[in-house]
Amino acid sequence: MKLVIFSAKPYDKLYLGGVLKSRSDITSVELVFHEFSLSQDTVSLAHDADAICVFVNDTLDTPVIEALHSAGVRAILLRCAGFNNVDLKTAEKLGIFVANVPSYSPEAVAEFAVALIQTLNRKTHHAFNRVRERNFSLDGLLGRTLHGKTIGVIGTGKIGLAFARIMKGFGCRLLAFDPYPTDAFKPYGEYADLDTLLPQCDFVSLHCPLMESTRHIINEKSLAKMKQGAMLVNTSRGGLIDTKTVIAALKSRHLGGLALDVYDGEGALFYNDHSGDIIQDDELMRLTTFPNVLICGHQAFFTEEALTEIANCTLQNLEDFRRKVPCKNSLVREGHLLVKRESLPVRTV
Ligand SMILES: NC(=O)c1ccc[n+]([C@@H]2O[C@H](COP(=O)([O-])OP(=O)(O)OC[C@H]3O[C@@H](n4cnc5c(N)ncnc54)[C@H](O)[C@@H]3O)[C@@H](O)[C@H]2O)c1
């Protein structure tokens, strides 16, 4: 069985190749790596593949999925949790198997969200640069003690819960919003609707998936409801935030800080070196000019443990497909979508 891997980086080769070698139960799988991301321009690279493997910024809209189907591809393996970039309805209609890696070290992402909060809040990134220039002044580095602050958690799934656990350990008060509340959050805090939660929180962290119902959940109205000077953290998906309005809220100083691991237009930039390019995304470039904005290139998942788990789960999903046995991570099955949420995810950029 030939598996063509798109958007492949050296670490994908290392972990997928390494895990395949270590799994004596998975045989006759050939891995072919392409650095290119999947799009209409590159879909021909899948021409003799049985299955393809993609990541967060590959495009799997209707034309691409139809082209994959015509090329004989029968399985799409997502080596990530989010599937907002896949037109599941088209895949299901064409009988293409789609599976994701629903959980790979949720703690990895949660810990990164906390790292962003602490960096943004205590300004350690500015301190690092200053000390390299032998500037030991503390002016401008004033932060806030997290103990006793109120933290808003939007989405209490696997990552939101892991995040809540850590913030509770800091001595924070937690409020959460999720249309599907869970008892698992009870030890950490209380649920509230967004209108109640936003005005009370000193920090708000986004952990819900990108869907029609959550696109721009952070917009002019919700930003206005946030407490003056509150900080916003997004390690989930860029499309949750309306970038224009967040820039306006930063300019007016209503929003006290912004930390992003994900960005709405990241597909054109993230995971590649553009240091010699003229970046055309003016909103992203504007964001980089604020002293209280911190941007990372979608790396919250990026730990050894998570990459091992992603590789293992992806290859197990392929093996389940090959053996025609039920796959617990399948997102579609013939004639029936398996996604349970109230609305299907939408494609980003
Ligand atoms: N930055 C990264 O590297 C990285 C890595 C993995 C996942 N993610 C993102 O994190 C998201 C969360 O992952 P997870 O594993 O916790 O998913 P999950 O499915 O376990 O949890 C998502 C939660 O969001 C809730 N939700 C749905 N609609 C909502 C709404 N309108 N408002 C608030 N909550 C809502 C769901 O009920 C669920 O409890 C993923 O969708 C993905 O986009 C990012």
Could you tell me the residue ranges of all domains in the chain?
2-104+303-343, 106-295
Residue 20 clears pLDDT 70, i.e. is over it? yes
- Predicted pLDDT of residue 52: 98
Query: What CATH number is given for 106-295 in this structure?
Result: 3.40.50.720
Write phi, then psi, for 20 (nearest 5 degrees): -60, -45
Report whether 212 contacts 131 (CB < 8 A): no
Say whether 106-295 and 2-104+303-343 share the same fold: yes
Mean pLDDT on 123-142: 98
Put simply, whether the predicted model's pTM sits higher than 0.85 gets the answer: yes
Distance CA 210, CA 236 (A): 8
Q: Output 189 or 346, whichever has higher pLDDT.
A: 189
Model pLDDT for residues 322-336, shown as the tens digit of each residue: 999 999 999 997 544
Model pLDDT for residues 214-251, shown as the tens digit of each residue: 999 999 999 999 999 999 999 999 999 999 999 999 99
What percentage of the chain reaches a pLDDT higher than 70? Answer: 95
- Ligand 1: residues whose CB is within 6 Å? 81-82, 103, 106, 109, 154-160, 177-180, 207-210, 213-214, 235-237, 261-262, 298, 300-301, 341
Distance CA 250, CA 231 (A): 10
Distance CA 155, CA 205 (A): 9
Residue 294 clears pLDDT 90, i.e. is over it? yes
Query: What CATH number is given for 2-104+303-343 in this structure?
Result: 3.40.50.720
What percentage of the chain reaches a pLDDT higher than 90? Answer: 91
Three-state DSSP string of 21-34 = HHCCCCCCCEEEEC
Catalytic residue ranges: 237, 266
Residue 37 clears pLDDT 80, i.e. is over it? yes
Substitution candidate for ligand 1 out of 55, 79, 109, 196 with most atoms within 8 A of CB: 109
Radius of gyration of the chain (CA): 21
- Predicted pLDDT of residue 334: 56
Nearest to 28 by CA among 45, 54, 53, 51: 51
Contacts of 52 (CB under 8 A, 6+ apart): 3, 4, 5, 6, 38, 46, 68, 73, 75, 76, 77
Report whether 191 contacts 214 (CB < 8 A): no
